[in-house]
Structure 1
Amino acid sequence: MEGCKMGISLNGLNSGLADTYSSLLSGAGSGSSGGFDGSSLLTDYAAIKNGSYGKMMKSYYSKLKTQESEEDEKTSSSKSKKVKDTSSASAASALHKSASKLGTLNYDDHSEENVQKITDAVSAFIKDYNSLMKSGAKSENSTVQKQTDALYNSYYSNYKLFSKIGITMNSDRTLSLDEDSFKKCFTEDSGRAGTVKTLFGGIGSFADKAADRASRIYRAAGDGESVTSSKAKYAGSTGGSSSSSKTSSSTSSKELSKTAEDPASAASASTLYKSLEKLGTMNINNDNKDNVYDAFSAFVKDYNALLKNTNDSKNTNVINQANYLKSLVSGNKSAFSRMGITVNADKTLSIDETKFKESDMGNVKSLFDGVYSFGEKMTDRINSIYRYASQGESLRNKTYTSQGGYSSVGAGSTLDTTL
């Protein structure tokens, strides 16, 4: 009888503990499946007395705590993607500028004055790179962390080339420059001047990739806007790699230049960036098809307008970046076709409203969701087109309006003017 009273008393502690107690010790005795019978209560009492019950309770709550911790970590991880990081945003902006400047230098001029100019630019780039590495390592924004890691990996994959020109890595993933060794690349007949040009000059160089990566970090660390949403102060000419084979036949008769101003392409790049940004932030699901269609139609219209303007451009860098953009779109031809979107022979897009709305919006979302998505890659190309079309020196203290005109920007404005 006492055993029964003890069993009843334990069951009355609280409902949560009773459920836990029952599930932990179910089947311990030979009792029925319908609950506690006399024999199971005696077995339970024995378990409490010999300490096994306490051990099981500790194990249970330890496991419960671990599960709760994992859930908290998932929630924290989801929130951390949206954490604003002004320090990394500022560092990314500075790196974008110094990396872009490296693309404007003449690496074939080995005069003492020009070599010093290159050395100063590389030194400034390394300073900004190191600042971003330090701020990125401390960032609570998971996307900033991933992009900073990707930037480091881009360096590490070329560390042997960097070591040849006097640039080495420190234990904290920052870089050091031996200026004497670097300058000797241009004064000694060792072929290392070509290595400097490979790493810092031209589209596809390490500096060019660093500029793109800095753009992604800035967007993730800030309010989601482009690093070029400030005054257009990035001289966009690069050191080389403007292959004529990549230039469309329609431009062959034009007088081409890496420094030709192209306000039409800059304006259309700005407009396309906005429509692409809208797609990246809107709620894309099957219950919102009408709004998604309207946004995607605007995107198609703005993309086609950009292609038209870049086809007429006299800026070879703009033309090359537009060709990369066309290749990116063509590479996703199958994905587009599943949504009723056709990639035409001239690389423009056409959209079928009926087929689009009949398709699964999950396919649309997959194109624009994530750090390495189609939308992310496209944004980087649009940024490059805008940068190269704007020609910073002639647009100091000004930015393009969406109509292609100019509007003044105060001297104190840096990264707060939206495209």
Structure 2
Amino acid sequence: MALKNQYLIDLLETVKKRNAGEPEFIQAVTEVFMCLEPVVEKRPDLVEAGVFERIVEPERQIIFRVPWVDDNGKVQVNRGFRIQFNSAIGPYKGGLRLHPSVYSGIIKFLGFEQIFKNSLTTLPMGGGKGGSDFDPKGKSDGEVMRFCQSFMTELCKHIGPDCDVPAGDIGTGAREIGYMFGQYKRIRNEWSGVLTGKGLTYGGSLARTEATGFGLCYFTEEMLKANGKSFKDQTVVISGSGNVAIYATKKATEFGAKVVALSDSNGYIYDPDGIDLPVVQQIKEVERGRIKEYVDRTSHKNATYTEGCSGIWSIKCDIALPCATQNEIDADSAKKLAANGCYAVSEGANMPSTPEAIDVYFENKMLYGPAKAANAGGVATSGLEMSQNSERLSWTFEEVDAKLHGIMKEIFKSCDEAAKEFGMEGNYMAGANIAGFLKVAEAMKAQGCV
């Protein structure tokens, strides 16, 4: 697919020049622009208001030094980021990623995607993202605490419950959120819902841990249902083995599917008898171990482990749920999925499919649930956590899960209706981008040139 609208072609060239060396961000903008071509034709008022030019430029980019002392007494220095992308419909909202791959382009792409994802949730949240090139793997609790305290010492100047509310992401779990929240509270001398993903003893929400994985399955089930299918009796391959993958496995299994594969950054497991989820949870959630340990720990005798991750997409399945990282499915992997009979791909990770892979999905008439819609359950439940903090309430797991289920149904409905309205029925990627964009665009236009 290629852009045809000259206005968007010219604007994309400007984006490329301004953001040279940031391929992930350029990829994200290109995908959105391709979906918005019919909007440009139908809504010249948004062009006149400069909405397109403004929405691709972050409102604010913050980069800062993060010095901390390791267990050997040596000073270490990392780089911290927070990109506050768009606040047209609410305070900035988006996670903090701690991973060696983090740089401005990754954070910018994630923040841009977050604008539309948050818009789709129906909740009043703008788009932002942050993080650091710090790697928590292999670090002691003391080292992680000292890093998080240093990171928050600077970040606290730029965030707040009515300004910017960060959350977890890759590398930032309950431990890291706890250390960051404690430092924020210490410096600002206030208790507020400034971070989401908090522990249940200090303002966290039930079902937040499960939310992205559960939400992914709720969205996917709606997509399947609209096309005369369901999870029942289907074989599912899921990449990753973090929160998203684990709880997608749990919910898909509850829906009657058999999940046969999971992975981590080293390799993947294949269990034709169905993943033994309690074993995975013990290894990954309790022990923070590696997925290869599964083969020796499960009672399932046919389970195997393979070094390297890309081979997971060679496994025969009906439904694929990529839940690991960006660009993990390329064209070759997508072709293998199609050749093996996979008819649906729904994304739990952020932008896990390359543009070439997405082309393969459409060429083979596969159902495709894009990340900004399919994995919005996590940030939706973060929004519900913000509401509980503001009201000084704590809802039950069942209440939060019911609200999440309702939100994911509405997200699919919005994607479906927007795709139909603009003549692209069944193209949920276009529907997600259009529906998410229009809500933010209307707000930007109403607020003037800011």
Larger strand proportion, structure 1 or 2?
2
TM-score normalized by structure 2?
0.25
- Say which one has the larger Rg: 1
Larger helix proportion, structure 1 or 2?
1
TM-score normalized by structure 1?
0.26
